[in-house]
A and B are shown apart, each in its own frame.
Chain A
Amino acid sequence: MKENSKQLRMNQMEFPGFSFLENSTSEYREVSEDITKRPHVFIALVQNALTIAQSLRDNYFVNTAKIVSRIRKKLISGDKKISELFFNIRSINENITWDDLRGEEIAFIDGGVGSVEIMGQVPMLLRVGTYKVKTGETVLREREQFGFYPIILGDLVGGSKERKDYPDIVRIVGELLAVINTLQRYPKLDVLILHGPLVYLVGQYAGHIPFTNEDIDIFLKNYSLEQNIKDEFQEQSKMIYPQMTQQWRADWIGKLEDHYEPICFMRFLLWKIKNIIEDASRPKKTLICGVTERSTLSEFTRRIVFQRLLQKDPDFFNNIFGRNDINSANTAVERLGYNDSLLLSMLLNPREYSEPFNIDKYSNFRTAQIADVQVDFRDFRADGQYPFPNINGFYIQVSENTFPIRVEVFGNYNDSQISEIAQRVHLYSTLLPGYAFPIGLDIVDKYAKVPNWLTDAYSKLIKYHLQSQLFQGKISDEELRRVIVQALYATQRDWFLRPSI
């Protein structure tokens, strides 16, 4: 604690970051200048420097500049062989403009949760918004269509509502259904872009109580989707459920149609999406991707950059940091705090994107408990019996002033398809240079945002109802009364500081 306090009290002269430019040698001076000109990168490095081990903190900036400088040299060495062995940086075609893409139909999908304020934010409403636009079309009703799909969380029975990630699973299901709805409604769609990963790290959602038949009816009705989705899923789950638990039994599982285990259902929806877009009879092969800003992944850094670096030079990091224990990519990432966004922001120039790499989404599938039943989700891993679709990702640097954004696509996309997606995601993002994110996602986010007046109104209604119950003496349980009083009148801070009675 003392050590940390001392570090925190470092004055400006002592803090290495502020003097590292002056101390830079010509080897990495260019990188140093680059970093200091880009405040978001500089601040991220400062944050890293404060969190890593003290022994690595000294010269952290200098060493980072060295690492980046040496990697850059490997990228532009002029020796094509070397750069091919290292990793590929690709360029967005400068000559493709909006004119060239006129007439394309693009859809943007974004999901979010509206919360009411009762001693903290309590999620209440899921909304998924869709925005479909045809570029070049001037008749507005032909050009744009918006969709708004709300689900009141209280209407659903399934899912473990006591879990913090409950709204997430509802949102993911909602978004996937919105994708299906959009693909079915617009068979000539050229591109569909989802806000967020194409597939989430769904392993963490294991253990939720299944959705019910009625829950799925609510979803399907909202999205105007046919009931045959349920039939198709039930066919699959007949096979999958027994594999997931040895305690499979008719009385627990009950009727299949009453149980929609969330992860199974997400898997089913993802494969359905993939099948729809790959259907030979579909007029257009819609390109689908998910776009994430503020990525915290470090997989590319780990498995592509550092691993390949160390393959060529096992002491690369040790030499720079003057150590002998940074011998693996994992160690380098963990000890040095780099992630994909930070590293690539220093390696990619605007209009460049990284080579695609396979993202490991599924190795965290484990077993989990659902009620009193032990359930095994490991068959959903990439090497399992019922895998999820393979996902690849790549990063695009849109502007100097932002971190690169991560784009996820299905794993079977070829270079040409990836190039098409990169081109478009980049172009859509250039209209928001300060944010560097596809503008269509910003539009759909604003469109589908649950207005504050709605959540405020709901908060008031709920509080009024609780107050009435309280004042009318309808709540006799002492503990419950205490909780309600705190919910109505306390702020979140009060809750934490108040000793429990």
Chain B
Amino acid sequence: MESSKTMIGTVVGESTPQEFRMSITPGQVYVQDLVALDAEIQESGKIKQIRVWAKIEDIERINPLFPREAGQELADLQVNPFDTVISMSREMITASCRILGYEEISGGEKNEPLKKLRYPPQPASSVYKPPKADIQRIIMGNLDDKSKKHRKLDIGWLSTRRDVDLIIDAHPIVARHAAILAMTGAGKSWTAKRIVEQLAEKQYPIVIFDPHGEYSGLSEIEAIKDRVHNYYADIKIFEEEQDDIVRLINGLGRSELTPRMQDIFTDLFRFSSIIIQDQVTCQNMCNLLLSVRPDDQYLQKYGLSPNLFGIAAIGQCICEAIRGDNQSFLSQIDSLGYTGVVALNNRDAETINGIVWRTRRAAGALANMARINRKISMGKESLPTDINTLIKKGSINVIGLAGYSSELRASIYSLVVEKLFQNRIQNLIDLPFLLVLEEAHNFAPGAPTTDADRQALQITRQIAQEGRKFGVGFLMISQRPSRLDETALSQCNTFIIMRLVNPADQQFVKRVIETVGEKETKLLPDLDVGEAIISGQSVQFPVLAQIKSPQATGSRSEEDLIMEVSKYGG
């Protein structure tokens, strides 16, 4: 233990085993600083020298010789108090401190967690600022042990002591879930990227669900760029359940399929799925369709696509064939596998027409989303069919969800994560992995309204409750904690809480997260960008930290739009 101690205060008033107040030397300490005092306790008949650690929760400053009335006069007259006879030198500055615990001084330091103090410190004790090394040691706990050194994550500094690095334990984050909660612009993605980069150095497999393209910059980091895979989300229509496709059309087609439409769609979808997925039959089908609609330029140019456009094209031709009483065409369709198509009448044709329009609209919307998604996420590949290939030692997989509606995001997330989790349970995936859920309220909504939401929530909860057993953890990131599912959030063991001004979010955090008390809640609206209260199992006690900058920048980092316009046109 270093011997240098900077005395900064004296215990005054009443002290308890949980807290004490001290008069402090002006300007020496700040709120959230860690301080210590030496004391003695009796244990098993022996007197032990201990060091009591505490954190400054609040500082009050008062000048008892400065009347309020005078303050008003100075303000009215706009006079500097130093120019008057008012006394400025008799301030009383007191800090209230929460005791974190104690360690034994005698017998050398051990990297043990702090013990709970059961006896109050003595009034008039001197309080000091411990040396940097001791603070580091206390925060890290036993992370310096041989068995745990590899778990260190260097994510920042103590906010009030920039000379003290904040090293936290990675294990609780990856194994027992973590959450980063902050309002927009407070630095949550910055923090998540820092954590991801630190984990990447440890070769830990990571899958990131990225709704806004925040993580596309990971592939620019020299050290890890070969391990970063940017995927765009691709909805393979014919790999989904038909009910899901109906929901998709209902959601994107602007009006829902009626029950009759759904009946006919079932057959249409089944037929299309058989025909389109085989290259030969698909080509033949395309030719057949062109015989009914020779002027269809889309068909001419693109052929029959394995997507909603394809289904719509088939449906349209069938509709026109029925209207035109083209029994030859209909018979061929029937022979290819659409049983009962010849029995469809004109009324059915109109129904099919309705299906076609809705399907086309949905197809258009989906195509737009996919286009935006590819542009933003810079994804070069679509998700692999064998989803297990995502999880490899050192792999960092970024699944871009930008451009998609929240429902689609939830759907894509559910599909991917369910498969990953089930495969992990069945030992088809060898390694543990971390799921990073940016905008986590999309994937763990507090009040799900759609089937997609409910499905996403279900899998998230399952991982929250059981993931630990299988080495599957998640890192939730959200700017609206009050919209998150409480069950999932409460399963997190590490919290990184950044600036939150919404009172509902503050209260939610205070209610759900046990380690956040009244004092911490009061700090939340005033935290700087990049400042965070870190609490939970990754640290010995809640600390106020300044997160270090990640190397990656997002593709959607904010540009100076005013500058852009001013430069436009030269």
Query: A residues engaging B (CB < 8 A)?
Result: 97-99, 102, 106, 108, 131, 133, 135-138, 140-141, 143-144, 146, 428, 430-435, 438-440, 442-443, 446-447
Q: Contact mask B48-89 → A, CB, 8 Å, 1/0? A: 000000000000000011010110011001011011111111
CA distance A141 to B26 in the complex (A): 14
CB–CB A143/B67 < 8 A: no
The range of chain B's interface size is 10 to 19
- Contact residues in A for B85 (Cβ distance below 8 Å): 106, 108, 133, 135, 428, 431, 438-440, 443
CA distance A433 to B84 in the complex (A): 15
Q: Does B236 contact A (CB under 8 A)?
A: no
Candidates A135, A144, A442; contact of B83 at CB < 8 Å: A135
CB–CB A146/B90 < 8 A: yes
CA distance A435 to B85 in the complex (A): 16
- Contact residues in A for B87 (Cβ distance below 8 Å): 131, 133, 144, 443, 447
Write 25 A-B pairs (CB below 8 A) sorted by A numbering: A98-B80, A98-B83, A102-B83, A131-B87, A136-B82, A137-B82, A138-B82, A140-B88, A140-B89, A141-B89, A143-B82, A143-B88, A143-B89, A146-B90, A428-B85, A430-B73, A431-B73, A431-B74, A431-B85, A439-B67, A440-B85, A442-B67, A443-B85, A446-B64, A446-B65
CB–CB A443/B65 < 8 A: yes
Query: B residues engaging A (CB < 8 A)?
Result: 64-65, 67, 69-70, 73-74, 77, 79-80, 82-90
Residue of B nearest to A104 (CB): B85
In addition to A431-B67, A442-B67, 15 A-B residue pairs with Cβ atoms within 8 Å of each other are A133-B85, A133-B87, A135-B82, A135-B83, A135-B85, A144-B88, A144-B89, A431-B85, A431-B86, A432-B70, A433-B73, A434-B69, A439-B86, A440-B85, A443-B86
CA distance A432 to B70 in the complex (A): 6
Q: Which of A131, A135, A136, A141 has the most CB of B within 10 A?
A: A135
- Contact residues in B for A435 (Cβ distance below 8 Å): 69
- Contact residues in B for A97 (Cβ distance below 8 Å): 79
Residue of B nearest to A136 (CB): B83
CB distance from B178 to the nearest CB of A (A): 47
CB–CB A135/B88 < 8 A: no
Smallest CB-CB A-B distances: 3 pairs: A431-B70, A140-B89, A98-B83
Residue of B nearest to A428 (CB): B85
CB–CB A431/B84 < 8 A: yes
CB distance from B72 to the nearest CB of A (A): 9
A131-B87, A144-B87 known; A432+B67 contact, CB < 8 A: yes
CB distance from A400 to the nearest CB of B (A): 15
- Contact residues in A for B79 (Cβ distance below 8 Å): 97-98
- By secondary structure, the B interface counts as loop
CA distance A115 to B118 in the complex (A): 40
CA distance A446 to B64 in the complex (A): 8
- Contact residues in A for B65 (Cβ distance below 8 Å): 443, 446-447
Q: Which of B67, B80, B82, B87 has the most CB of A within 10 A?
A: B87
CA distance A106 to B84 in the complex (A): 10
CA distance A131 to B65 in the complex (A): 11
Residue of B nearest to A144 (CB): B89
- Contact residues in A for B82 (Cβ distance below 8 Å): 135-138, 143
- Contact residues in B for A438 (Cβ distance below 8 Å): 85
Q: Which of B67, B77, B84, B90 has the most CB of A within 10 A?
A: B84
Count, A-B residue pairs, CB within 8 A: 67
A432-B70, A433-B69, A433-B73 known; A98+B89 contact, CB < 8 A: no
- Contact residues in B for A428 (Cβ distance below 8 Å): 85
CA distance A443 to B90 in the complex (A): 10
CB–CB A98/B90 < 8 A: no
- Contact residues in B for A138 (Cβ distance below 8 Å): 82
CA distance A446 to B82 in the complex (A): 19
- Contact residues in B for A102 (Cβ distance below 8 Å): 83
CA distance A443 to B86 in the complex (A): 8
- Contact residues in B for A131 (Cβ distance below 8 Å): 87
CA distance A501 to B74 in the complex (A): 61
CB distance from B75 to the nearest CB of A (A): 11
Residue of B nearest to A103 (CB): B83
- Contact residues in A for B73 (Cβ distance below 8 Å): 430-433
CB–CB A99/B67 < 8 A: no
CB–CB B83/A99 < 8 A: yes
- Contact residues in B for A99 (Cβ distance below 8 Å): 83
- Contact residues in B for A98 (Cβ distance below 8 Å): 77, 79-80, 83-84
CB–CB A432/B88 < 8 A: no
CB distance from B66 to the nearest CB of A (A): 8
CA distance A77 to B97 in the complex (A): 69
- Contact residues in B for A447 (Cβ distance below 8 Å): 65, 87, 90
CB distance from B14 to the nearest CB of A (A): 14
CA distance A431 to B79 in the complex (A): 11
- Contact residues in B for A135 (Cβ distance below 8 Å): 82-85
CA distance A431 to B67 in the complex (A): 9
CA distance A488 to B439 in the complex (A): 73
- Contact residues in A for B86 (Cβ distance below 8 Å): 431, 439, 443
Q: Which of A135, A428, A439 has the most CB of B within 10 A?
A: A439
CB distance from A293 to the nearest CB of B (A): 15
CA distance A446 to B77 in the complex (A): 25
Residue of A nearest to B64 (CB): A446
- Contact residues in B for A439 (Cβ distance below 8 Å): 67, 70, 84-86
- Contact residues in B for A446 (Cβ distance below 8 Å): 64-65
CA distance A108 to B80 in the complex (A): 20
CB distance from B70 to the nearest CB of A (A): 4
CA distance A430 to B69 in the complex (A): 10
Residue of A nearest to B82 (CB): A138
CB distance from A99 to the nearest CB of B (A): 7
CA distance A433 to B82 in the complex (A): 19
CA distance A106 to B86 in the complex (A): 11
- Contact residues in B for A136 (Cβ distance below 8 Å): 82-83
CB distance from B25 to the nearest CB of A (A): 14
CB distance from B83 to the nearest CB of A (A): 4
- Contact residues in A for B84 (Cβ distance below 8 Å): 98, 135, 431, 439
CA distance A443 to B67 in the complex (A): 9
CA distance A146 to B65 in the complex (A): 12
Residue of A nearest to B74 (CB): A431
- Contact residues in B for A146 (Cβ distance below 8 Å): 90
Residue of B nearest to A99 (CB): B83
- Contact residues in B for A141 (Cβ distance below 8 Å): 89
Q: Which of B67, B85, B86 has the most CB of A within 10 A?
A: B85
Residue of A nearest to B79 (CB): A98
CA distance A468 to B69 in the complex (A): 48
CA distance A440 to B86 in the complex (A): 7
CA distance A500 to B67 in the complex (A): 48
- Contact residues in A for B74 (Cβ distance below 8 Å): 431
CA distance A139 to B73 in the complex (A): 23
Residue of A nearest to B91 (CB): A140
- Contact residues in A for B89 (Cβ distance below 8 Å): 140-141, 143-144
- Contact residues in A for B70 (Cβ distance below 8 Å): 431-432, 439
- Contact residues in B for A144 (Cβ distance below 8 Å): 87-90
CA distance A140 to B91 in the complex (A): 11
CA distance A256 to B69 in the complex (A): 51
Residue of B nearest to A107 (CB): B85
CB distance from B347 to the nearest CB of A (A): 91
- Contact residues in B for A443 (Cβ distance below 8 Å): 65, 85-87
CA distance A144 to B88 in the complex (A): 8
CB distance from B175 to the nearest CB of A (A): 54
- Contact residues in B for A140 (Cβ distance below 8 Å): 88-89
Residue of B nearest to A191 (CB): B85
CB distance from B93 to the nearest CB of A (A): 14
CA distance A102 to B83 in the complex (A): 6
Q: Which of A102, A133, A137 has the most CB of B within 10 A?
A: A133
CA distance A143 to B90 in the complex (A): 12
Residue of B nearest to A434 (CB): B69
CA distance A438 to B64 in the complex (A): 17
CA distance A206 to B485 in the complex (A): 87
CA distance A137 to B79 in the complex (A): 14
Residue of A nearest to B73 (CB): A431
CA distance A431 to B73 in the complex (A): 6
